[in-house]
């Protein structure tokens, strides 16, 4: 199950954080997302690890915490997507697919002429779309 | 890098050293206590040797030398595993002490992340970490699974005062006193024994002691017997520079008394004794033991045969049931011996030997499933690899293996795991693998809060020190650690870690995390009673618009509670709640400009300027006047600054915003000002320079001073309101100076929830604002909020009574301007200027009490009421009040005004009133009062006129008037239509009664009517109302209401407004003969009045100016002649004479050429019509109606060209000259005779002629109305002539 999804701007400022749990763990998830930025930075600054694909946007598993797995994705505009999940065996392909759809949703959201770049994403449509994608991810990984 | 020099290396050389067990008699201890030291403490400083230089030969034949060496001394009672509980207490104490020491830093500035990054490791790490780690490792000492803590030697100490010292020696090393390690067989009880006799020199000369020594030597052997004389100093006043014992005292007793009886001789004696002990006894003993053990091990385990045997033997043992820790190994077992051999070799720095033995034993233990021992050996292997500086991978693998294996062994193993973890961490740190080190710290953090807090904090510093620094993880682990500190009640440590975490988060937008951190720091500070710091942190979370409503309430409540707890009036600079919108700052002050309303003050200055220009003496001269009179008094600086007047308020508008969802009550919102009473220039300079200081303390002190003392010199307004959640409110604050001087507006203050006073300083923000150019009228930014207060001068207050906000277009209303002067001084020379004379006009004072609208009714009794014209008072647009007008005292001055809503829409009426001050000593010569009224004019009647020349008669015009009621609910009664102009007279085409079924116009209704406009005879106009009044002709359109009363539109306000309308529409002269103006008067029928719309009796006048009477062609003509002729065609053809009258309506002379055409293809007009008509239906003749005429004339170019018929011979011919050319003077008529000859009876259309005209323009009229054509051709009108055969 996806616990949290986040969009972080190129100055590491949070643009969108949505958790999908009932529990009051927003702060914890904020911390996890915030910390994973360190790993994103590390991945980006040490390109030798990222392998032969220069334009690879998918950063893979950022780090496993006790209960969560954190995946990262970096767009060409240095916007980061962070995915926090409790599933312990997640296929990379699933995550990639998820991020691809999420990226499309993000692009649509920021293409809105009323969206101010670098400001938080407040679009309700975006939120709905994200939650659909998240639900779909849960189904695909379960099935 | 030499591994021995690394932190881990040094630690190992310190910690893994031979242990000497000390057993002493109570009297020995007593002698040492005189120095404030125990016996072990007394010897401890001399146990580490930096340059012992002892040759060592272990298993190999090659000796090597040891330089550094250390012995660890322990009382026999301490040689056991420390009690876990006690150890934990002790660790806690260490942490608490460290926390107390850090308290001083708590109130210092927040650390900056850059500073942290640039400072070295030792500066960042709290110094007590090392100490803590060491203590932590020590809690794991004296375990039976490892041998390096096993005592190598035993030091038996007896005092010379003891009875029978020899027996005491024997007694000491006996039974119960010995540690369990020796008793339960974990180690060899036969250890090296050394005997020491301690003699206290204060108890007398050492002779007796020497005697005992000899005895001892004979009993125990000369080598193992020593004498130590202490306390040689009698006075007890020996001062030790750099007291060597100080570092070894753990409790905080005063250090200066330590060793006070030990003089330099004792010093040297102890030193020699210990060196002797190490080099002559311990090391040789260990060498010997290593060699012996090595031989044994080689004999039993080395070599192929032994290995096979060992394997087989171990396999055989596999069936035996496993004890939890594997089998018990006694000291005599080969496994224990190998371990001892390895540890001794390690302590003697023969790492190769140690490593080979550890390897040997590790497999054995693994096979035996003795996991704890296996882990211990793995740990030592890792350390040995490290000390050998080989194979990092192996070292790390061993450490990890040890760590995991320890963890496997259950709860007791955790302690050991922690130790191996700490060593592992040190190993990683040495190799700059900080990130991995942090991971290890995280793994050893464990369950126990305090322990994990310290470990997490150390982990966080590892993240900070890693390259590149991982700041976010640093912050995260600090917060985790702080949380754990809090759980174990170490609040000071918690605050410290959280504060460091702030440095990471500062300047980012991760507001949830920031709120969490600040909130907890605030709470903890208030827990500690440091309310100031608590408040400053809680303040950071006040404007938390992103949090949920409950959280916001909770934060605010906590903040207010904390403030209350602090117990004092809390004054906070830059309180973030509410948010002050600095860019909204607007200052309105009145110097010579005064404002009737705040709306007037908001108008841009240049609008007022344009209005003022005509009535105010130029700015330059005004300034000069001031300077002339007071140049020695007012410095240039003051001249350039803003001026305000004693007793007159300066208004400051500022916007408050509430970022929260909850509403916040604000009270005591007022300005902060300072006023310097101006005694002389020097003083004011000094004052202003102090005011330049802008740091917080100064401002605060200014605020204090202002609030306490200076109140008398000015008064402030106080506002109280509640800001709704998410709301914003523009607040107007005023300050009224009471004395002359320099007034400076510093900022604004408010009270939040009636407990916290917040300040906002304007000056810092206003500089930015000025750069944006938002400020209204300021020459120099710095002086923006600085005012020179001058003596009181009179100030007029004015307003217009009962000016409605909404009126309908065309409405005419009488208003009254009221002026008040509160001061004793009078004002004179009043002038007024109005921006929109179309809407607002100045009346005559005599109108004041008139009955409106009845005053406009034409007096039928003949007494014509005439108003004196006021042209003398009107200087262009400026109205000059009569000279004698003086406004003073309590009486208000009234003057009538007329409002006429000219056009629909919204309009702002700007009114400027200028007045001069009578007192010549006044600072100002004049002032202006600026009034602004916004008027919304709703559409009412839409009136349009269309005028077309009447083709049948010259100088008569048909007027079509279309009136539409555009209102939604109002009904109008149309009373009267007047035409204005000398030459024009309007009349109805039909009597009123028959024309209109309903004289009222309901809302949405429209109607049209036709009227006749005639040219007046010249005579009438010349003897009319005289040159100054309007020539008017009225018709009454309604039959009911007003009693058939007509209105006189030549009276003042209507006429004035009409003039303005005319000016508005164009600049042509009144007497222009080609245009006509109409005024439609109507009255609303009061059915229901709309709210906000003017009420009461009123009159509507709609002005339509410059309605042109000229159609596209300036030439009009009419053909006159008989219509029906009886003629006997048998005698001759019939000749008909016609007369064409031409009229030139143009200004210039025109030449007209009339072409008659006989040719059928050009004429043909009569053809079909004429033939059908002629064919019989003579009875169908009818008079061509006006309507069709109108239609034709109004659309000349639209005349149908009838299709030419080829088969008809023209039945008539033009017999006059076929082409006549005449010249028409301007505005004149000319008659031309025409003649036709008709050959047969019938009806004929005589339209087959054309008129070609061209206006002859003179030079000065060259560009006059270029839109009009200067020449053209007109098709002839239909003119039907019927000729009958006479009988």
In degrees to the nearest 10, what's the CA dihedral of B619, B621, B627, B629?
A: -130
**Do B509 and A26 count as a contact with CB atoms less than 8 A apart?**
no
Peptide bond connecting B960 to the previous residue in cis, omega within 30 degrees of 0 = no
pLDDT of residue B270: 84
Q: How many domains does chain B have?
A: 6
- State the pLDDT at residue B854: 62
State residue B533 phi and psi, 5-degree precision.
-65, -40
Is this prediction's pTM over 0.90?
no
Summarize pLDDT for B544-573 with one digit per residue, the tens.
777 888 888 888 888 888 888 877 666 666
Highest mean pLDDT (candidates B399-403, B1114-1118, B1151-1155) = B399-403
Residue B619 predicted with pLDDT over 80: no
Quick one: pLDDT at residue B322? 47
Q: In whole angstroms, give the CA distance from residue B334 to residue B355.
A: 17
Higher per-residue pLDDT: B240 or B512: B512
Same domain (yes/no): B987, B1089: yes
Same domain, residue pair B670 and B801: no
**DSSP-based three-state secondary structure for B917:** strand
Same domain, B928 and B949: no
Question: What are the CA-CA distances from residue B911 to residues B807, B837, B918, B1130 (Å)?
Answer: 19, 10, 22, 86
Q: Which of residues 59-78 of B touch A (CB under 8 A)?
A: none
Q: Do B1046 and B1193 share a domain, yes or no?
A: no
Indicate if the pLDDT at residue B513 is higher than 80.
yes
**pLDDT confidence tier of residue B534, bands split at 50, 70 and 90:** confident
Is B1072 part of a structural domain of the chain?
Answer: yes
Does residue B539 belong to any structural domain of this protein?
no
Residues B819 and B673 in one domain: no
Chain B interface, best mutation among A24, A25, A38, by max B CB count within 10 A: A38
Average pLDDT over residues B1194-1206: 40
Q: Per-residue confidence at B963, pLDDT binned at 50, 70, 90? A: confident
List, for residues B476-500, the tens digit of each pLDDT value.
888 889 888 888 888 888 888 888 8
Residue B517 lies in a domain: no
Per-residue pLDDT at B231 exceeds 80: no
Distance from CA of B382 to the nearest CA of A (A): 27
Report pLDDT for B992. 53
Percent of chain B with pLDDT over 70: 72
Same domain? For B1081 and B1127 the reply is no
Smallest Cβ–Cβ distance between A14 and the set B468, B479, B509 belongs to B509
B1132 and B1281 fall within a common domain:
yes
Domain end call among B377, B410, B443: B410
Residue A7 pLDDT > 60, yes or no?
yes
State the pLDDT confidence band at A106, using cuts at 50, 70 and 90: very high
Mean pLDDT of B994-1015: 70
Q: What is the CATH number of the domain that holds B1043?
A: 2.60.40
Residue B148: the pLDDT is: 80
The count of structural domains within chain A is 1
Q: pLDDT tens for residues B884-924?
A: 677 766 677 888 888 888 788 888 888 888 888 776 666 67
Q: How far is A19 from chain B (nearest CA, A)?
A: 13
Q: Is the pLDDT of residue B1013 over 60?
A: yes
* Structure-model confidence comparison of residues B60 and B256, the more confident one: B60
pLDDT of residue B336: 82
- Measure the CA dihedral B381/B386/B392/B396, to 10°: 50
Kindly write down the DSSP assignment for every residue of B1071-1093, as one continuous string: T-TTEEEEEEEEEEE-S-PPTTB
User: Which of B15-29, B317-331, B727-741, B909-923 comes out lowest in average pLDDT?
Assistant: B317-331
Q: Does position B501 have pLDDT exceeding 50, yes or no?
A: yes
pLDDT at res. A102: 92
pLDDT at A49 over 50: yes
Q: Is A38 on the interface with B (CB under 8 A)?
A: yes
User: Is residue B1113 scored above 50 in pLDDT?
Assistant: yes
> Do B1237 and B1212 form a contact (C-beta atoms < 8 A)?
yes
Q: Given a cut of 70, is residue B150 above it in pLDDT?
A: yes
Residues B1244 and B1120 in one domain: yes
Q: What average pLDDT does this structure show over B260-277?
A: 81
B438 touches chain A (CB under 8 A): no
Calculate what percentage of chain B has a pLDDT beyond 90. Answer: 0
In this structure, are B313 and B387 located in the same domain?
yes
pLDDT given for residue B107 in this prediction: 57
Q: Tell whether B745 and B807 lie within a shared domain.
A: no
Residues B280 and B360 in one domain: no
Task: Note whether A13 contacts B509, CB cutoff 8 Å.
Answer: yes
Cα separation, B355 vs B345, in Å, equals 9
CA B1021, CA B979: separation in Å to the nearest integer? 13
pLDDT at A128: 92
Query: Which has more confidence, B779 or B88?
Result: B88
pLDDT of A75 above 80: yes
- Name the residue facing B472 among A13, A27, A37 (closest C-beta): A37
Task: Answer whether residue B324 shows pLDDT above 60.
Answer: no
In the predicted model, what is the mean pLDDT of residues B100-129? Answer: 68
For residue B175, say if its preceding peptide bond is cis, omega within 30 degrees of 0: no
- Window 1028-1047 of B: residues touching A by CB (8 A cutoff) are none
Domain housing A134: 2-142
Residue B406: per-residue pLDDT: 85
pLDDT digits (tens, 9 = 90+) for B61-75: 788 888 888 888 888
- Asked whether the beta carbons of residue A42 and residue B470 sit closer than 8 angstroms, the reply is yes
Of B326-340, B510-524, B660-674, B840-854, which range is least confident?
B840-854
Residue B342, domain extent: 301-410
- The CA-CA-CA angle for residues B831, B837, B840, to 5°, reads 85
Check if the beta carbon of residue B838 is closer than 8 Å to that of residue B1057: yes
pLDDT of residue B330: 74
Domain boundary pick from B1108, B1131, B1152: B1108
The answer as to whether B1262 is a domain residue is yes
A31 Cβ under 8 Å from any chain B Cβ = yes
Other Cβ atoms within 10 Å of B408 Cβ, number: 13
In chain A, whose CA is at the least distance from the CA of B516?
A27
Domain match, B773 and B824 both: no
| DSSP 8-state secondary structure symbol assigned to residue B1047 | B
Cβ of residue B508 closer than 8 Å to a chain A Cβ: yes
pLDDT of residue B363: 82
Beta bridge partners of B48: B70
Report H helices in B16-149: 26-33, 39-43, 84-106, 113-118, 121-124, 128-138
How many CB contacts within 8 angstroms connect chain A with chain B?
Answer: 35
Give contacts of A 44-73 with B, CB under 8 A. Answer: 45
CATH of the domain at A89: 3.30.450.70
Nearest to A38 among B473, B508, B509 (CB): B473
Q: Write the residue in A13, A35, A45 that is nearest to B508 by C-beta.
A: A13
Give the confidence band of B744 by pLDDT, cuts at 50, 70, 90. confident
In chain A, whose CA is at the least distance from the CA of B508?
Answer: A13
User: For position B872, what pLDDT does the model report?
Assistant: 40
For an interface test with B, the pick among A7, A15, A34, A43 (most B C-beta atoms closer than 10 Å) comes out as A34
- A122 and B CB contact within 8 Å: no
Tell me how far apart the 2 most distant CA atoms of chain A are, in Å.
41
Taking the C-alpha atoms of residue B1079 and residue B856, their distance in angstroms, rounded to an integer, is: 14
Q: How confident is the model at residue B1258 (pLDDT cuts 50, 70, 90)?
A: low
Residue B981 lies in a domain: yes
The pLDDT assigned to B1004 comes to 76
- The highest-confidence range among A4-8, B263-267, B685-689, B1161-1165, by mean pLDDT, is A4-8
- Domain boundary at B393, B410, B427, which? B410
User: Between B1246 and B1070, where is the model more confident?
Assistant: B1246
Task: Specify the pLDDT at position B1210.
Answer: 59
Smallest CA–CA distance from B505 into chain A, residue? A34
pLDDT grade, residue A104 (50/70/90)?
A: very high
Q: What pLDDT does residue B851 have?
A: 63
State the average pLDDT for chain B: 73
Q: State both tokens at B1225.
A: 């003077």
Report the C-alpha gap between B501 and B497 in whole angstroms.
6
Q: What is the mean pLDDT of residues B1064-1079?
A: 64
CATH code (residue B1130)? 2.60.40.10
| B107 occurs within a structural domain | no
Bond into B73 cis (ω within 30): no
């Amino acid at each position: 199950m996806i616990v949290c999804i986040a969009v972080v701007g190129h100055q590491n400022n949070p643009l969108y954080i949505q958790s999908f749990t009932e529990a009051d763990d927003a702060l914890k998830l904020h911390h996890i997302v915030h910390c994973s930025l360190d790993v994103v930075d590390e991945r980006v600054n040490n390109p030798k690890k990222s392998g032969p694909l220069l334009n690879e946007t998918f950063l893979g598993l950022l780090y496993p915490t006790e209960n969560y797995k954190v995946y990262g994705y970096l767009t060409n505009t240095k916007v980061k997507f962070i995915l926090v999940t409790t599933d312990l065996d997640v296929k990379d392909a699933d995550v990639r697919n998820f991020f691809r759809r999420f990226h499309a949703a993000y692009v649509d959201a920021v293409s809105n002429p009323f969206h101010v770049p670098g400001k938080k994403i407040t679009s309700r449509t975006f939120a709905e779309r994200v939650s659909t994608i998240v639900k779909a991810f849960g189904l695909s990984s379960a099935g | 890098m030499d591994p021995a020099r690394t932190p881990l290396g040094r630690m190992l050389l310190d910690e893994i050293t031979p242990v000497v067990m000390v057993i002493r008699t109570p009297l020995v201890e007593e002698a040492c206590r005189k120095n404030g030291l125990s016996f072990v403490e007394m010897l401890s400083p001399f146990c580490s040797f930096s340059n012992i230089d002892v040759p060592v030969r272990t298993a190999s034949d090659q000796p090597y030398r040891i330089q550094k060496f250390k012995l660890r001394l322990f009382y026999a009672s301490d040689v056991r595993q420390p009690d876990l509980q006690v150890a934990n207490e002790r660790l806690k104490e260490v942490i608490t002490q460290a926390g107390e020491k850090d308290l001083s830093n708590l109130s210092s500035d927040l650390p900056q992340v850059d500073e942290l990054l640039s400072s070295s490791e030792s500066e960042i790490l709290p110094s007590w970490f090392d100490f803590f780690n060491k203590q932590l490792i020590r809690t794991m000492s004296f375990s039976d699974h490892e041998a390096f803590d096993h005592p190598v030697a035993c030091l038996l100490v007896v005092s010379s005062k003891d009875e029978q010292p020899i027996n005491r020696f024997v007694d000491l090393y006996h039974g119960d006193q010995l540690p369990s390690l020796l008793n339960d067989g974990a180690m060899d009880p036969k250890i090296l024994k050394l005997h020491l006799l301690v003699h206290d020199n204060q108890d007398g000369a050492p002779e007796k002691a020497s005697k005992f020594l000899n005895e001892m030597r004979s009993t125990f052997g000369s080598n193992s017997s020593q004498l130590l004389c202490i306390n040689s100093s009698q006075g007890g006043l020996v001062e030790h520079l750099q007291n060597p014992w100080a570092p070894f005292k753990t409790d905080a007793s005063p250090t200066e008394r330590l060793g006070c009886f030990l003089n330099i001789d004792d010093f040297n004696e102890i030193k020699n004794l210990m060196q002797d002990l190490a080099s002559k006894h311990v090391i040789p003993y260990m060498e010997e033991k290593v060699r012996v053990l090595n031989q044994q091990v080689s004999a039993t385990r080395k070599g192929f045969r032994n290995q096979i045997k060992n394997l087989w033997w171990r396999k055989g043992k596999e069936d035996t049931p496993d004890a939890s820790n594997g089998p018990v190994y006694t000291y005599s077992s080969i496994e224990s011996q190998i371990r001892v051999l390895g540890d001794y070799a390690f302590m003697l720095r023969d790492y190769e030997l140690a490593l080979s033995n550890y390897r040997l034993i590790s497999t054995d233990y693994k096979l035996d499933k003795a996991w704890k021992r296996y882990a211990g050996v793995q740990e030592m292997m890792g350390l040995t690899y490290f000390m050998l500086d080989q194979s990092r991978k192996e070292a790390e693998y061993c450490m990890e293996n040890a760590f995991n294996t320890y963890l496997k062994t259950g709860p007791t193993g955790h302690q050991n795991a922690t130790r191996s973890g700490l060593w592992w961490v040190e190993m990683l740190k040495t190799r700059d693998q900080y990130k991995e080190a942090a991971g290890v710290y995280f793994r050893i953090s464990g369950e126990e809060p305090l322990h994990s807090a310290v470990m997490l904090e150390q982990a966080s510093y590892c993240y900070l020190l890693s390259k590149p620094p991982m700041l976010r993880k640093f912050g995260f682990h600090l917060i985790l650690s702080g949380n754990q500190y809090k759980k174990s009640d170490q609040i000071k440590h918690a605050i410290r870690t959280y504060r460091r975490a702030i440095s990471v988060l500062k300047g980012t937008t991760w507001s949830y995390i920031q709120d969490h951190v600040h909130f907890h720091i605030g709470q903890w500070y208030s827990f500690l009673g440091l309310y100031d710091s608590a408040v400053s942190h809680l303040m950071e979370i006040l404007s938390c618009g992103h949090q949920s409503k409950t959280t916001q309430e909770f934060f605010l409540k906590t903040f207010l509670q904390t403030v209350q707890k602090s117990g004092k009036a809390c004054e906070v600079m830059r309180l973030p709640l509410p948010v002050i919108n600095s860019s909204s700052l607007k200052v309105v002050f009145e110097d010579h400009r005064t404002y009737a309303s705040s709306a007037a003050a908001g108008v841009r200055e240049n609008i007022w300027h344009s209005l003022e220009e005509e009535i105010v003496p130029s700015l330059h001269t005004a300034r000069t006047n001031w300077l002339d009179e007071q140049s020695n008094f007012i410095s240039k600086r003051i001249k350039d600054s803003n001026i305000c007047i004693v007793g007159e308020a300066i208004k400051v508008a500022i916007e408050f915003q509430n970022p929260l969802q909850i509403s916040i009550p604000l009270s005591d919102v007022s300005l902060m000002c300072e006023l310097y009473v101006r005694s002389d220039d020097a003083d004011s300079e000094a004052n202003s320079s102090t005011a330049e200081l802008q740091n917080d303390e100064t401002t605060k002190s200014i605020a204090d001073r202002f609030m306490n003392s200076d109140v008398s010199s000015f008064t402030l307004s106080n506002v109280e309101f509640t800001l709704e959640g998410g709301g914003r409110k523009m607040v107007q604050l005023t300050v009224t100076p009471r004395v002359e001087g320099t007034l400076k507006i510093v900022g604004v203050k408010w009270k939040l929830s009636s407990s916290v006073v917040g300040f906002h300083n304007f000056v810092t923000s206003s500089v930015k604002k000025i750069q944006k150019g938002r400020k209204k009228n300021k020459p120099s930014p710095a002086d923006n909020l600085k005012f020179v207060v001058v003596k009181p001068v009179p100030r007029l207050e004015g307003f217009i009574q009962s000016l409605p906000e909404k009126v309908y277009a065309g409405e005419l209303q009488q208003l009254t301007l009221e002026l008040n002067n509160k001061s004793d001084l009078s004002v004179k020379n009043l002038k007024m200027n109005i921006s929109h004379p179309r809407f607002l006009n100045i009346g005559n004072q005599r109108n004041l009490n008139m009955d409106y609208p009845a005053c406009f009714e034409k007096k039928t009794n003949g007494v014509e009421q005439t108003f004196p014209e006021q042209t003398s008072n009107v200087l262009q647009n400026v109205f000059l009040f009569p000279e004698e007008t003086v406004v003073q005292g309590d009486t208000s001055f009234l003057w009538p005004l007329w409002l006429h809503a000219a056009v629909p829409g919204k309009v702002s009426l700007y009114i400027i009133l200028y007045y001069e001050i009578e007192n010549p000593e006044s600072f100002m010569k004049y002032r202006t009062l600026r009034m602004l009224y916004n008027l919304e004019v709703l559409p009412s009647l839409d009136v349009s006129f269309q005028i077309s020349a009447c083709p049948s008669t010259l100088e008569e015009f048909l007027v079509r008037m279309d009136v539409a009621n555009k209102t939604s609910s109002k009904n109008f009664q149309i009373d009267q239509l007047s035409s204005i102009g000398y030459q024009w007279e309007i009349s109805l085409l039909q009597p009123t009664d028959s024309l209109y079924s309903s004289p009222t116009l309901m809302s949405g209704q429209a109607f049209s009517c036709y009227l006749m406009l005639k040219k007046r005879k010249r005579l009438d106009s010349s003897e009319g109302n005289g040159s100054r009044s309007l020539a008017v002709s009225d018709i009454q359109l309604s039959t009911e209401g007003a009693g058939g009363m007509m209105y006189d539109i030549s009276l003042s306000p209507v006429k004035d407004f009409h003039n303005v309308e005319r000016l508005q529409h164009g600049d042509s002269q009144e007497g222009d003969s080609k245009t006509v103006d109409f005024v439609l008067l109507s009255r609303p029928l009061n059915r229901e009045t709309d709210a906000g719309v003017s009420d009461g009796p009123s009159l509507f006048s709609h002005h339509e100016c410059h309605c042109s009477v000229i159609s596209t062609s300036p030439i009009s003509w009419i053909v006159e002649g008989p219509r029906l002729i009886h003629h006997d065609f048998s005698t001759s053809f019939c000749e008909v004479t016609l007369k064409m009258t031409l009229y030139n309506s143009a200004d210039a002379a025109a030449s007209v050429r009339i072409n008659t055409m006989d040719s059928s293809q050009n004429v043909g007009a009569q053809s079909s019509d004429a033939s059908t008509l002629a064919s019989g239906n003579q009875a169908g003749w009818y008079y061509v109606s006006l309507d069709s005429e109108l239609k034709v004339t109004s659309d000349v170019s639209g005349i149908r060209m009838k299709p030419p018929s080829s088969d008809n011979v023209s039945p008539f011919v033009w017999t006059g000259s076929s082409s006549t050319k005449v010249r028409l003077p301007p505005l004149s008529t000319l008659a031309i005779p025409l003649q036709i000859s008709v050959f047969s009876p019938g009806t004929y259309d005589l339209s087959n002629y054309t008129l070609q005209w061209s206006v002859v323009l003179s030079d000065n009229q060259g560009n006059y109305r270029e839109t009009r054509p200067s020449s053209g051709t007109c098709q002839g009108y239909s003119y039907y002539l019927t000729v009958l055969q006479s009988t």
